[in-house]
A = this chain, B = another copy of it.
């Protein structure tokens, strides 16, 4: 019996590391309520707050950045309104309000508000009543496009233009909106997009190829700057091909990645993004991922997509939502399981960031800098600053036939290609918008040919 009760040997440090249980989240990057530094920073941007197919003829209650709101479509001109949830009179919820042309009316005593929150009518009051002038309801402007409603929740005087991106209106591109909620802080969901190495493990080597087998190869990552923000090149050799995958990032949380199911077995020039994605805080411990999935001929040579799954609460690629049995999530975990299981608010002091976490570290530094800059009274930087037109972005897949170069270290070759392709993309910005795509494709072909 004594052998049975012999304790295992080893350097067990559970007790030594019990500090993990008292460490706390980083408030500067994770608290987003009204008045918080990060909350104020996020409020300087247009954020997608809802899918418009969820807005019926009834008020639609939502929560964004810790604020309870009601979104509605007034039946006059069909415009969307977004106001604070509680009536400015006696605080009854406007989710029970009556939508009318030009605004919304509280059902308790009939106060009617315009789309901008102005009190239009107070029907029970005597004619001399001045309360209409004194009171107002908090409201935010809304822009609607391809199934998404975007709001600006910052100070009215600092409202930036909507940053229109080249990928929002391309010929031959069908864009389908999706919105999925996660019970965790926004930052860990956003960081997932700055972490190209989890694709190797979580999506490929861990259990099975959730996307394509080629993701198993360790990529070479280089970071670059652009007018819209930052991007990185994600380069892999696949036999005689070099696959350059570009990932865009625009502050505070917009990202675009390459195609979801590419097959790097032939040349491809300036293939574009599979996803345009915002990570929007609901509150400190809930987040909505709002996306447009792009569907174009050639993006999915193996036919692995299913458009019918893209919508409210689900999308067409694995692991983005909780609607899988716990055992399936354990046996084949996805992105959702990764970021949600980091906890309601991930605790950075428990982490051991390493070489592969350069992107995560970089985005935290950038955020921290911008948040502090705003808190210090500086204006917020926008991609539209000193820029008028549609913003050119780069995300997508380019595949060039460039075999192994005899006598050269392939790492050095891939690095050289990373910067050369990034340079071609940036040169494209200087072209007239109607010539840009052709210019980039031609330049990529010329560059590819230069290696033969």
Contact = CB atoms under 8 A, between A and B. Distances in A.
Dominant SS at the A interface?
loop
B207 A107 contact: yes
A58 B327 CA distance: 8
Interface string A109-140: 11000111110001111100101001111111
A330 B59 contact: yes
Given A13-B156, A18-B67, A5 B114 contact: no
Given A96-B341, A141-B12, A86 B207 contact: no
Given A93-B342, A155-B16, A341-B96, A8 B201 contact: no
B143 A202 contact: no
Identical copies of this chain, number = 3
B7 A141 contact: yes
B35 A86 contact: no
Interface centre among A1, A91, A129, A218 (most CB of B within 10 A): A91
B156 A11 contact: yes
A22 B10 contact: no
B141 A8 contact: yes
B15 A153 contact: yes
A96 B206 CA distance: 10
A388 to B, nearest CB: 10
B205 A20 contact: no
A333 B329 CA distance: 39
A197 interface: yes
Contacts of A14: 67, 82-84, 117, 138-140, 153
Given A8-B79, A86-B343, A218-B124, A109 B356 contact: yes
A16 B135 CA distance: 13
